[in-house]
Amino acid sequence: MMYIYVLFIGVLVFFFFYKWLDGKFFSLFTNSKKNINFSPEDLRMVYEPVYFKSQDGIELSGWFIPKLDGESDTTVIVGHGAGENKSDALKQTSFLAKYFNLLYFDFRACGESKGKICSYGFYESRDILGAYDFLKTVKIEFARKVGLYSSSCHSFAGVDTFCKTDIDFLILKSPSINFFKFLRKYAKEKIKIPFLPEFFIKKYLKTKDFNLELNFSSNNLNRPIIFIYGDKDEFITLEEFETFYNSVNLPSKNKILLVGGSHFNIPDIAYFSEKLIENLNLIN
């Protein structure tokens, strides 16, 4: 009889532990950043609120900002990173409006966009495709050429979209190379759990592991790509980044190293803008 009680208590403890874990991991995929605390108005920039749908029908919210002086037929789609929304991306990249039109938008379940699950780069490729289709059908005269700025874990979505479309150039800021590895580290930081079983990832995302290197190697790309890396990145070491960068066999690639930069922080915006524009001038 004692064994039955012990077994019952063990099952009960395991059940509640599982429910607690499940709740924690559920919050990881649903509690994305919603508050928009910075807008083009704060920078006195002319902009147009825009709305469009992702490839799978989710309503997304964005800002279209025309080039500050004169006109341009090139638009850069700017995506934010994990745990951020379009207001964060605007703070880091508003200087690009001196040279291009810009389309900022919130990924699904972030900022002012609809959706329930934030998938950290897996489903978000459908969001970028929605932004790209919006430009090519609604903002045609502003988007003869299209660039894509993709950050953090959304680099997975950026590369996937780049491979599926004729986007002219790609900028990868603090790219996450391995999907599961990034999520495990991010879970440790956000929900204070040092492990993330693949079971829970697949439960909410229904996906297998994927990484940037495999995506690059499986596609024949000859369009320019700029990699941006901070040497204080919490999610990938400088050695890992250099190994990845050297393994990517692309005819037109370049990199910008941000000394003191981390995964989500750019310590010197002036230097960052100078180097990025310098690289973009070489490919435009």
Rg, the chain, Cα only: 20
Written as one letter, the residue type at 130 is: G
Q: Which two tokens stand for residue 262?
A: 């981390």
**Distance separating alpha carbons of residues 259 and 257, to the nearest angstrom:** 6
C-alpha triplet 207, 147, 139: angle, nearest 5°: 105
Q: Return the closest-CA partner of residue 74 out of 130, 148, 128, 133.
A: 148
3-state helix, strand, coil in the chain (%, to 5): 45, 15, 40
Question: What does each C-alpha distance from 164 to 128, 129, 198 come to in angstroms?
Answer: 11, 9, 27
**Distance separating alpha carbons of residues 144 and 139, to the nearest angstrom:** 9
DSSP class of 52: E
DSSP class of 106: P
Q: What pLDDT is stored for residue 1 in this prediction?
A: 63
Beta strand pairing call for 74-78 and 48-53: unpaired
Identify the segments of the chain with pLDDT beneath 50.
none
Q: What pLDDT is stored for residue 87 in this prediction?
A: 96
Beta strand pairing call for 225-230 and 253-258: parallel
Q: Are 228 and 258 in contact (CB under 8 A)?
A: yes
State the pTM of this model: 0.90
Strands (E), 122-210: 145-151, 169-173
Q: What pLDDT is stored for residue 18 in this prediction?
A: 67
Q: What pLDDT is stored for residue 127 in this prediction?
A: 97
Q: What pLDDT is stored for residue 26 in this prediction?
A: 77
Q: What pLDDT is stored for residue 225 in this prediction?
A: 92
The secondary element (H helix, E strand) that includes residue 89 is helix 86-93
**Distance separating alpha carbons of residues 32 and 168, to the nearest angstrom:** 30
Bridge partners for 47 per DSSP: none
Q: Which two tokens stand for residue 261?
A: 């930069």
Q: Which two tokens stand for residue 130?
A: 């929605």
Beta strand pairing call for 101-105 and 59-65: antiparallel
CA atoms within 13 A on the CB side of 184: 13
**Distance separating alpha carbons of residues 111 and 59, to the nearest angstrom:** 12
